[in-house]
Structure 1
Amino acid sequence: MSTVAPPRPDAAPQPPARPSLGRRVLDLWLRWWRRLTAMRTAIILLLLLALAAIPGSLLPQRSLSQNNVTQYFADHPALAPWLDRLYLFDVFSSPWFAAVYLLLFVSLIGCVVPRLVEHVRALRAAPPPAPRRLLRLPDSAELTTPLAGPAALDVVEEELRVQRFRVVRREPGAGPADSAGSSGMELSAEKGFWKETGNILFHLSLVALLLGLAGGKLWGYEGSILVTEGQGFCNSFQQYDTYSSGPLVEGADLTPLCVDLEDFRAEYEEDLTASSYTADITYGAPGEDGRSTTIGVNDPLRVDGDRVYVTGHGYSPRFTVALPDGRVFEGVSAPFLPADQATMASQGALKLPDLGAGTDDQLALEGFFAPTGVLQGGILTSIDPRPLSPQVAIIAYRGYLGLDSGLPQSVYSLDQSQVERGRLAEAGRANLAVGESLTLDDGTAITFDGYAQFAALQFSHDPGQVWVLVSAISLLLGLLALLLLRRERFFARVGPDPGSGGTVLTVGSLTRGGGESAARFAELTDRLRTALDARSTQPPAPSSVGAAPEPEAPPRDR
């Protein structure tokens, strides 16, 4: 028979077994998961998301206006490249904004789902038993009544059910002992579950709102284009001046829709600020008869989830170009972009690559348009955004425009590198009113015919807009329930009154949220005292056992 030798008294204690690598990784992951899904972390991430959106409202964004971004680069040539490296001109599509967005999304889900499960369990569970010492609650009182204990609790239950409390009665021995060490009949009641329901609805709606915004970014797209009166465009990314789409959008997914601009009107206040932009358009699918409507800044065209907005306007000067060989080109125009929104003074360029006869020379006009033009020191400027006295200052260039060089260039400005390289040479300049002409050295006549207005239109497709709207409404409802409702618990226990032989009713209340708990408890206590007094003064109901029969009524005379 073998025996195990006892350990030696002087033996060193054995170190605890080191957990395995997998166990340590799991513990580390659980620790970080608990930190990420804490409500404090969700609040911090929400604050970071709000702070991250500030640069998107202070700096121009490429998704909204590429021209403003270009102007910012021109005004701040040293600072703009560094801001661009930090994605501050593309805030809402930057990696760091997406990281905060995703972490907030995960944190909210990990925080709300356990609370939802807990809330469902609380809805199905009975109110908790009364505390051991009710008089230690913040709101508590003792009421004496000559009624028996069950009758007193009947009165309390009736009053609480009128106020929509959920009530549970417990018999002696089912609850904890009272202050005297004995167990009596008790009552537990609670209401205000809508407060926690509103809290969970608020957070779930916030998650749904984030999902809707993310869905709109993934499957949505938008494009902007300048359309002159009498012209139009179709929903194709090749036609837009600026176009952005989600990573899950393909060219075939674009809605087949064409829009023609028939007329545009801009109205101004007395201080010359714009009061409204309205555009008469015709829209419809390609090959179908168009339908007419009027849209404005806050009144877009809505077609099957697509929206067409008016975001601005400007002027397109019109020219007639008469060549020496007798050819005449009438009504050529190009949008001039506003350089000053207060006076609508605009700058632009008109490129005419196909006017040369038997030569490779091309013609370009770079100009300044003034809706209400005046000369100040020999320089044309505008003093009013309304077209009261339209004038244009143009510089004509002849030579090579570089349109077939394969390098991208703006259609609204002239490539100055061609001028610097000597490929474009100035052929003449002049300030022209409507009807006046500039004649170049080769006999080409350029006549200023007037202007047409253009509208800046934006086509937006956002499949998550209805989801976002519903989520925002439910988020507001949940917030109202969270702020306005209160969670209340009420307890009552009966015991004998040694002095009068009646019953001592001990009541207490716990209120969370809403305030004024003492006043509400005092009002409820007064109502209970009044109901107990009224019940104790009622005569007892006669018993049907041994009761004398009522005398029969005498017959009535006929």
Structure 2
Amino acid sequence: MTAVEQRPAPSAAPPPRRPNPVWVLLRNSWRQLTSMRTALMLLFLLAVAAVPGSVLPQRPVDRGQVAAFFAAHPQLAPVLDRLGGFDVYAAPWFAAIYLLLFTSLVGCVVPRLVEHLRALRTVPPDAPRRLDRLPQHATPAEEAADPAATAAAIAATLRRRRFRTVVREHPDGVVTVSAEKGYLKETGNLLFHLALLAVLVGVGFGSWYGWYGNRLLVEGADTGFCNSVTQFDDSALGPRVDAADLPDFCLQLTAFAADYQPNGQPKSFRATVAVEQDGHTSARSFAVNDPLRLRHANVYLLGHGYAPVLRYTDRYGQQQTNVFPFLPRDGMLTSEGVATFPDANVDPRTNKRAENLQVGFEGVYLPTVDANGGAASAFPAERDPALFLTAYRGNLGVDAGIPGSVYALDRAQIDTGKLKRVGGERPQRLKPGESWTLDDGTKLEFLGTRQFITLSVRYDPTQSLVLVGAVLGLLGLMLSLAGHRRRVWFRVSPLPGGAGPADGSVVEAGGLPRTDYPGFGAEFEQLTQAAGRPVQSGGTA
């Protein structure tokens, strides 16, 4: 009996392995994020997101304008504030768009850069078999020279026109000339995107290592300030900056000159300051678009106004003289402000102050009084100045420890009756040098005004990087728009029926634009003529 060999049954084919859905989702999301379409959408979205930063006042630039917006729009301003409308560039939603755009650009540019470098090292391909099927084609024409010499002359002509050229000899005696041009288009594209990345990096690192401080600086030797956080009206330091890292310098406003047109529009502003730095004092001047450049800091002139100088004599004969900046509310420098004397009426016998005898004045300063009786200034320069004040006596509320504006009285104190209006129902008008005696015998004197300027002291260590990135981006955009990638081929064949290559040759040309290039037909015809080939060119149907 013969044993039958039993073979194991073939095993069933394993089922196809299902891809991990999480990995598929991540891969597809990354591809979508790093696509050029997504990058352009994010760039457009970033531009739209920056619009509120140009329309709405920003706290890092001018807190006074933000406060004025709150006063003018009490219902809308808190909503915009919660959305980050008054500090747009530090808002979380702006940072999210910024980081997504940065990631998209990196994922989009790096593969394209590698591919572009590979293409630069690759020689143009050989001529296709059917040149007559290309968009541009030149019919064959006879040449007296042999194919090698004809191809060499054509290649020399193309190289003079900055074409990358390769000459190939084939076994059948045919010589082809392959030429390509227009890589600057892709180079410009990559340069633009790399420059945009540089700008994004510069802005990001600038916010980390930069700082700013705003200051209202009144003219005079007694109102100067030094560069420290405590002496700024508003300041912000980057996460990588400490208060001790600020450069050491002091500024004192010595003069301010403003020139106006007849209609009151400003023509020029120029401030002159005394700068003390590194133990040396020097006089420097700067203007609105011409900042004062110091070591590791730039000082920008934002605006100016007037600060009335007032002297108050209390009921005990004690005098206090202070300078009170009034903030402009229009282009003619109609200015509003307050003058407070919380330490007035201190009894010299007990050295105690009655809280209900504090004095405050709020009012409006007009550099030029309107001859028609208007409530606003008629001209920004001091041609006919006047100060209109309303007096209040009582508790100013400054001892409660609650932060408040130095440019307005506490309305809660007035509403509760703790601060009462005195001195008549109508505001008192004062000219420089005039005085006002109140009902309790105290006196207020308007001594004149000093000019003040609002400054923004800033430092951005990546400012040069952002500037270079912007210039390179513009250059890359120009190259991208001006460049057109195209290829041309010349096939030089031995003359049919000839005894040898020296008997002559036949030249045929073809051209292919790699991008949309309406002028390629005319350029192709010029190339064939410059190469010395008396051929007739035309496109295929």
1:44 Cα deviation after fit: 0.7
Which of 296, 307, 313 in structure 1 is aligned with 2:298?
307
Between the aligned partners of 2:15 and 2:160, the Cα distance in structure 1 is 65
Query: 1:193-226: per-residue Cα shift (whole Å, max 9, x none)?
Result: 2232222111111100111111212211212111
Does the CA contact (< 8 Å) of 1:380 and 1:393 recur in 2?
A: no
Q: Partner residue of 1:400?
A: 395
1:517 is the counterpart of 2:520: yes
Q: Partner residue of 1:184?
A: 174
Query: What residue identity is the alignment partner of 2:483?
Result: L
Between the aligned partners of 1:44 and 1:267, the Cα distance in structure 2 is 45
Query: What residue identity is the alignment partner of 2:339?
Result: L
Q: Partner residue of 2:18?
A: 18
Which of 246, 250, 270 in structure 2 is aligned with 1:278?
270
Q: Partner residue of 1:550?
A: none
Between the aligned partners of 1:256 and 1:44, the Cα distance in structure 2 is 44
Structure with bigger gyration radius? 1
SS in 1 for 2:487: strand
1:297 is the counterpart of 2:283: no
* 1:202 to 1:441, Cα distance in 2 relative to 1, 3 A: same
Q: Name the TM-score, length of structure 2 as normaliser.
A: 0.89
* 1:154 to 1:17, Cα distance in 2 relative to 1, 3 A: closer
SS in 1 for 2:251: strand
Query: What residue identity is the alignment partner of 1:127?
Result: P
Q: Partner residue of 2:338?
A: 349
SS in 2 for 1:212: helix
Which of 154, 157, 180 in structure 2 is aligned with 1:156?
154
Between the aligned partners of 1:171 and 1:26, the Cα distance in structure 2 is 50
SS in 2 for 1:522: helix
CA RMSD of aligned residues (A): 2.3
Query: What residue identity is the alignment partner of 2:365?
Result: F
Between the aligned partners of 2:133 and 2:121, the Cα distance in structure 1 is 28
Query: 1:79-114: per-residue Cα shift (whole Å, max 9, x none)?
Result: 222222222222211111111111111111111111
Query: What residue identity is the alignment partner of 2:289?
Result: N
How do residues 245-284 of structure 1 correspond to structure 2 at under 5 angstroms?
245-284=237-276
Q: Partner residue of 1:487?
A: 485
Q: Name the TM-score, length of structure 1 as normaliser.
A: 0.87
SS in 1 for 2:255: strand
When structure 1 is superposed on structure 2, of 163-172 and 255-264 the one drifting more is 163-172
1:374 Cα deviation after fit: 4.5
Does the CA contact (< 8 Å) of 1:486 and 1:514 recur in 2?
A: yes
Q: Partner residue of 1:322?
A: 313
Name stretches of at least 5 consecutive residues in structure 1 with no aligned partner: 174-181, 533-558
1:493 Cα deviation after fit: 1.6
Q: Partner residue of 2:108?
A: 111
Which of 462, 467, 470 in structure 2 is aligned with 1:469?
467
Query: 1:261-307: per-residue Cα shift (whole Å, max 9, x none)?
Result: 01112110011111111111011237x23211111101110112411
Which of 184, 196, 213 in structure 2 is aligned with 1:194?
184
How do residues 18-167 of structure 1 correspond to structure 2 at under 5 angstroms?
18-19=18-19, 23-141=20-138, 142-167=140-165
Between the aligned partners of 1:375 and 1:169, the Cα distance in structure 2 is 88
1:513 Cα deviation after fit: 5.6
1:376 Cα deviation after fit: 6.3
Between the aligned partners of 2:39 and 2:457, the Cα distance in structure 1 is 35
Does the CA contact (< 8 Å) of 1:375 and 1:381 recur in 2?
A: no
Which of 362, 367, 373 in structure 2 is aligned with 1:366?
362
* 1:188 to 1:324, Cα distance in 2 relative to 1, 3 A: same
* 1:381 to 1:107, Cα distance in 2 relative to 1, 3 A: closer
Task: Tell me the matched-pair count.
Answer: 513
When structure 1 is superposed on structure 2, of 316-325 and 202-211 the one drifting more is 316-325
